[in-house]
Structure 1
Amino acid sequence: MRTKLFILTAMMISALAFSQKNELKDAEKAMKSGDAAAAKASLESISGMIGGADDRSQAQYYYVRGQVFADLAKKGEAGAFDEAIAAYKKVIEVEDASGKQKYSSDSGQALAGMTSDLINAAVEDNNNKKFKEGADKLYMAYKLSPQDTIYLYYAASSAVNGQHYEQALGYYEELKDLNYDGSTMSYKATNVETGEVEEMNDKTQMDIMIKSGTYKDPVMERSPSKSSEIIKNIALIYTQLGQDEKALQAYKDAKIKNPNDVNLVLNEANLYYKMGDKDRFKSLMAEASNMAPDNPDLQYNIGVINMEQGNMEEARAAYRRAIEINPGYVNAQLNLSTTYVNEGNALIDEMNSLGNSRADIARYEELKKQKDGLFREGALVLEDALKNNPDNQGILSQLKNIYGALGDNENFMRIKKLLGE
């Protein structure tokens, strides 16, 4: 009886093995004819029993599975990259354990080639605004090629673009732990014949071109480190997620690495304002201003932040300083004018709420006088700006609107004529 049972079991195992081999052959044939879907179906029919197969059959199964899903990944099937990578890695795992190598080398090459496929697919995802999918693929590329940390950096950027902040935070934290710098060296030289500055592949090429006499004036430039940007982004994401204390700690870490980065100080100041600490906000704004008193862009940014926080006098002082440094700073001039217009507009609500009593009428006239005075201050700023930029459409349009609101028809028509309307 036992002998009969053994024979029956043996026959079943033989039949299963025969079925597996047939399905694997069918899958391989389907792949050769370019029918990945049919190959996938053949593999799925034996997936439940492959765990009991011999090592050679398992390695073959996972190798074909890797080919199938790699092909499907190129065709855009969701999750196919994950499946392909897992399958190729399983091949290597099985053959390492058995000591018999047949598919491992090809699997390793396939994994290496898949990195470029992932990058190309991620670029397409980002172009189509599928930022999370792009970030996922870039991270997979990084895991396949850990020496190319730039892929992890791009994965974080893609996640931020899609507002997937927690995902981006994980990537940035990983970059921080790796002490990722991200700076690169560029090599340039001037083409003697054309006079154009051209970029070289590396120093060796640059040196050869200089020695040939066809190029001159070699220049080597290192791009700025991305480490401060990474820590700053960590802080900004913590702020976005409402984790203010962690954000403040991140700013402290960032300032230790880059004590002269005024943008870090500005962002930290903005966070303190958000937290209600206006004294710390003001001290940091003063610190930022002192760090680069002759930088018009910094003064402009200080003006923008103060304007956003409703600190009009501080905003005006910063905008005026930016204009003093750069008399043609149009954006600073426009924003300076806007501070007066916004303050004037803020009086209109109260004006509209007043009744017809004698007191209300008197208050209305008082507020109207204040409003018109603020509008005229805004107009004066732009009239000064026109002296250096007489054809600037932004200045002319804002000035026309102010004169229209004032009911100053003469100046309104003058500016309208300058606009060519």
Structure 2
Amino acid sequence: MKKHFIAALAILISTVTFAQKKELREAEKAIKKSNFAEAKSILGQLDPNSMDDKYKANYYYLNAEALYANGSANNDDIAKALKSLGLIEEGLETETAELKTTMVQSFVTQANEAYEGKDYSTSSKNFENAYRVSTRDTLYLYYAAITASGVQEFDRALVLYEELDDLGYTGIEVEYYAIIKDSGEEEVFASKTMRDLSVKSGTHIKPAERITESKREEIVKAIASIYKSKGENDKALNAISKARKENPEDLNLLISEANLYFELGNNEKFKELLEVATAKDPNNAELQFNLGVLSQDSGDLDMAKKYYDKAIELDPSYVNAKINMAAMILGKEKALIEEMNSLGGSPADNKRYDELKAQRLEIYKSSIPYLESVLETDPSNIDAAKTLMNIYSATGDTAKQKAMKAKVESLGGN
């Protein structure tokens, strides 16, 4: 009785195996005829867990082909196709590699076409698909993230950016380029071999290479910005703080953290980090300027002047520092005017009035060099021109007042 049972079971297994093999062949035939719906229907009736190991790889491969449908599938089916490919443990290595290559090329082509057509959402999804097939090509994941962010698909972009962050992606690579002989323009090549062949053929000259800049700061700032827009400020700060711990000497990350605190209204922390940044990079005019703004806002005008003057010393063309200096100087006039208007007609009041008038004149004169310097750097700055015109008038410099009036009129002012 036991022998009959074993024999019956063996016949059943043989029958099932034969049926599986037959259905896999039918699915393969349907795929070759591009009948992907039929292939999916056939494969959907099979359970790979009940298959012999030698048929499992074939099932998962055919399932991926059917779902992918030569690139015409929707994103849900593409995701299932990629998952199916990932379940192939051994066997069909050559076929799987060829299918993956075809899929990557198709996704990248569709991504580029969508990008050129300004369909950035579709472009992003195709770049992501290309990466999911070939995870060594992290550049596709980066493209997917920035294009998703560009169309404000922030939740999806955040997932992609955080995946890049977890991978430690920097985007730093060697870039090979040469000059086009006929036009003199620079062309970047996909590889050193392609560049060298172009130079050898005579179409290009002056071959060279360079290291691209890190995209680390951009990625971290994007993560922080998205969290900030969602009102999750702690996560925004943690993103940059984490990156800074990994790269404590990265000045750009330090400044990004400082700016985030500023955007969140924490001026004290902003100033603290700016001072750290300034110590690391004492020749950075922008840092000096920002510290000047903070000092001015807090009422420490002497310190603000020190920072503004340092910014101008480091960068003589720094217009904003000159404008802020002039505005800060002229701001002292308000208190003098208020006191002048409060005085009576007594001899003592008249004497004090003359003293205040003289101080006011000195204020005007001390602002002139900064405003004149603004116009040297930015001749079309009509606000600086109008202010100078009025100051020349107040200081009695008629010739300069007339010249500046003509300049204001030439700039479209009254």
TM-score range (shorter-chain normalised) is: 0.5 to 0.7
* Alignment deviations for residues 8-45 of structure 1 (CA, whole Å, 9 cap, x no partner): xxxxxxxxxxxxx9xx98x998x7xxxxxxx89xx49x
Choose which of 233, 244, 250 in structure 1 pairs with 2:239.
250
Shift in alpha-carbon separation, 1:340–1:110, aligned structure 2, 3 A: farther
Q: Is the 8 A contact 1:115 1:144 kept in 2?
A: no
**Equivalent position of 1:286 in the other structure:** 275
Shift in alpha-carbon separation, 1:412–1:261, aligned structure 2, 3 A: same
CA distance in 2: counterparts of 1:167 and 1:146, whole angstroms: 18
CA distance in 2: counterparts of 1:199 and 1:283, whole angstroms: 42
**Equivalent position of 1:224 in the other structure:** 213
Which AA in structure 1 matches 2:124? Answer: A
Which AA in structure 2 matches 1:52? Answer: Q
CA distance in 1: counterparts of 2:276 and 2:147, whole angstroms: 33
CA distance in 2: counterparts of 1:117 and 1:209, whole angstroms: 24
- Structure 1, unaligned stretches of length 5 or more? 1-20, 32-38, 74-79, 352-357, 360-365
Q: Is the 8 A contact 1:340 1:377 kept in 2?
A: yes
CA distance in 1: counterparts of 2:210 and 2:271, whole angstroms: 37
**SS state at 1:221 partner:** strand
Q: Is the 8 A contact 2:112 2:123 kept in 1?
A: no
**Equivalent position of 1:144 in the other structure:** 133
* Alignment deviations for residues 54-96 of structure 1 (CA, whole Å, 9 cap, x no partner): 999999898566437x34x7xxxxxx24435635876x699x7
Shift in alpha-carbon separation, 1:28–1:204, aligned structure 2, 3 A: closer
CA distance in 2: counterparts of 1:325 and 1:404, whole angstroms: 30
CA distance in 1: counterparts of 2:68 and 2:201, whole angstroms: 49
Shift in alpha-carbon separation, 1:292–1:100, aligned structure 2, 3 A: closer
**Equivalent position of 1:268 in the other structure:** 257
* Alignment deviations for residues 120-146 of structure 1 (CA, whole Å, 9 cap, x no partner): 254146x35x55x44333222211221
**Equivalent position of 1:117 in the other structure:** 109
**Equivalent position of 1:86 in the other structure:** 80
**SS state at 1:322 partner:** helix
Q: Is the 8 A contact 2:173 2:212 kept in 1?
A: yes
Q: Is the 8 A contact 2:67 2:80 kept in 1?
A: no
User: What percent identity do the matched residue pairs reach?
Assistant: 30
CA RMSD of aligned residues (A): 5.6
Calculate the TM-score normalised by the size of structure 2.
0.61
* Alignment deviations for residues 192-230 of structure 1 (CA, whole Å, 9 cap, x no partner): 999887656544566788999999876432122323443
**Equivalent position of 2:386 in the other structure:** 400
**Equivalent position of 2:12 in the other structure:** none
After superposition, where does 1:89-108 map in structure 2 within 5 Å?
108=100
**Equivalent position of 2:44 in the other structure:** 51
CA distance in 2: counterparts of 1:107 and 1:196, whole angstroms: 37
Q: Paired residues, what number?
A: 356
CA distance in 1: counterparts of 2:281 and 2:92, whole angstroms: 66
**Equivalent position of 1:324 in the other structure:** 313
The structure having more radius of gyration, on CA atoms, is: 2
Calculate the TM-score normalised by the size of structure 1.
0.60
CA distance in 2: counterparts of 1:62 and 1:210, whole angstroms: 42
CA distance in 1: counterparts of 2:196 and 2:209, whole angstroms: 11
**Equivalent position of 2:349 in the other structure:** none
